[in-house]
Amino acid sequence: MTNLLNPLVLLLLIPLAGTFLLWLLPGGRKSLVRWVALLTSLIAFGCSLWMLVQFQSMDPGLQLGVKLPWLQFGSTTVHFELAVDGLSILMVILTTFLTPIAILSTWTAVKEKVKGFMAFFLLLEAGMLGVFLAQDMILFYVFWEFTLVPMYFLIGIWGGERKVYAAVKFFLFTMSGSLLMLAAMLWLGLNQGTFSLPQLEGVGGTVPAAAGLLFSAFALAFAIKVPMFPLHTWLPDAHVEAPTAGSVILAGVLLKMGAYGFLRFNIPLFPQVAVKAAPWFALLAVIGIIYGAATAFVQKDVKKLVAYSSVSHLGFVVLGIFALNPLGLQGGILQMVNHGLSTGALFLLVGMIYERRHTRQMDQFGGLWKVMPVFGTLTLLVVLSSVGLPGLNGFVGEFTILMGAYTSTAINYTLAAILAATGVILAAVYLLHMYQHVFLGPVTQDANRSLKDLNAREILTLLPLLVVSVWIGLYPKPFFAIMAPAVDKLIALVQPFLTVVK
């Protein structure tokens, strides 16, 4: 019973209980279904705040842990092991924070099969939380693969025109990476006699011959999820075809699972390989930053533009992580949050205009500022945050990452940071270009003249994102403080190998 009162267990149980409750409700009562889903996700958010209260931010280790034996095979046991630390706590809160916002955004956008939509959404939340909380490799894998199923249905049933293609591509791409990861997990677990992550720290040193292959197997799974160039091709399809709320969660949380995987598996388990691989990851990250930005610039569909901007922004995250110094890692983790907020908001905005006009082509718009001033203002704020204007969240994250990459001994070429910095400029180019096309100038299309500005519910979905964006922009200290001890602990694992290389 004491285990049930653990905030982490509750975090998993609340969305599942919500799904069950939804299942009992009659599907015809759509607004009741929506409210139940929203309340469930709000309760889960409250629970995550309760977890935050109990979290000791000075403690670098895993906290609030639960560990129960789950299944036995030979001499090794798979545990139901949950815990949270400075690396994962922000991701957990990001998940519980974005889910109610995403649900609120579907109020009028999803009209058919509302019950199924909400049920899959809550299942997805449980899966994502499980990924960030699991401390047993197999349990992690279970949640990791499980998240595919609800997302597959969200895209496939409620998606756009090419939904089937996008859903299947999403599923197969992610699965192709994770199967090799499963093989690596099994090999590692058998070799070491445990699947428990805390016990496997630095395990690469005990299996030097296999460490490189194991590292690659994990890295492939995570690189596909992030997605890193050149494994990103599933992302634009999935993003564009997914319903708005699905895109928000996909960009906001699901991609972060990949970056988080690097933090949780590749670096602590194989620090020596991570150090060697860092320059290559930095290279791919920089290519991703520039390629994503350049591709975003030529898009005519706004949603596609935002999707490619994700590739670019996630490049920053990976660059920060593989700087393998405190600045880079902290910036990387913060940028994961920032990207969740600003790209989430961008997808919401795109969804709002799509609901009104049923098109996302830039040339169908122009001069919207005059018709929808509130929409224009909020979009400008979000765009500026995504561009990295000082005073807003994006700047803090990207600046810290660039500092980290510039001073990184692991990456060891400053060109990476310099090229990455051009990504910031390119982001300004494509996003402001988009803004100019859609909002400025005269109203060219008659269909746009009668558009209604945002209603209270829509403003309410955007407001929390903007408040936190400004908060991080002006006062990021608490965010850095909560992750710093865990990041330092991670660096301590890597440090010996850094000095060996130099």
Partner 1 sequence: MSLSDLLILLPQAFLLVWASLLLLVDLFIAKDRKVITAILGTAGLAITLGLTIGQWGSRATGFNQMVVADNFSVFLNGLFTLAGIVAIVIAYDNMRRTGIHKTEFYALLLFSVAGMMLMSAAADLIIVFLALELLSIPLYILAGLAVPRAGSAEGAIKYFLLGAFASGFVLYGTALIFGATQGTSLAGIIASIQTGAAELPLLIIGAALLLVGFSFKVAAVPFHMWTPDVYQGAPSPVTGFMSIGAKAAGFAALIRVFSLAFPSLAGQFAPIIAVLAGLTMVVGNVAAVSQTSVKRMLAYSSIAHAGYILMALVPLADPSAAGNSTASALTYLVVYGITTLGAWAVISAVENADGDDTSVRDLSGLARQHPWMAAAMTLFMLSFTGIPPLAGFWGKFYLFRTAIEGGYTTLAIIGLLSSLVSAWYYLRVVVMLYFREGEAGASRAPSIQIATVLLALVILALGLFPSSLFRLALQALANGVS
| Site for partner 1, rule CB under 8 A | 70-74, 138, 141-143, 145-146, 148-149, 152-153, 156-157, 163-164, 167-168, 171-172, 175-176, 179-180, 182-183, 186-187, 190
Q: How far apart are the first and last CA of the chain?
A: 52
Nearest residue (CB) to partner 1, 162 versus 300? 162
**Complex with partner 1: residue 163 or 264, whichever CB lies closer:** 163
Beta-strand pair 76-84/63-73: antiparallel
Q: Between 10 and 148, whose beta carbon lies closer to partner 1?
A: 148
H-only helix segments in 136-254:
137-146, 148-158, 163-192, 208-225, 234-241, 244-249
State how far the Cα of 260 lies from the Cα of 245, in Å rounded to an integer: 22
Tell me which DSSP letter residue 59 carries.
-
Return the residue matching tokens 């909002």.
439
Instruction: Provide CB contacts within 8 A for 225, sequence distance 6+.
Output: 174, 177, 254, 255, 257, 258, 261
Smallest distance from partner 1 to CB 146, Å: 6
Instruction: Tell the smallest beta-carbon distance from residue 142 to partner 1 (Å).
Output: 4
Question: At its nearest, how many Å lie between partner 1 and the CB of residue 149?
Answer: 6
To the nearest whole angstrom, how small is the minimum distance from the Cβ of residue 158 to partner 1?
Answer: 10
Q: Residue 469 and residue 101: Cα distance in Å, rounded?
A: 15
186 vs 380, which CB is nearer to partner 1?
Answer: 186
Phi and psi based region of residue 475 (left: phi greater than 0; alpha: psi -120 to 50; beta: remaining): beta
**What SS3 class is residue 447?**
helix
CB of 190 to partner 1, least distance (A): 5
Using an 8 Å Cβ cutoff, are 266 and 137 in contact?
no
Is residue 7 reached through a cis peptide bond, with omega within 30 degrees of 0 on the bond before it? no
Q: Are 115 and 85 in contact, with CB atoms under 8 Å apart?
A: no
**Shortest spacing between CB 18 and partner 1, in angstroms:** 18
- Residue nearer to partner 1 on the CB measure, 172 or 474: 172
- Pick 157 or 380: Cβ nearer partner 1: 157
The CB-of-220 to partner 1 minimum distance in angstroms stands at: 12
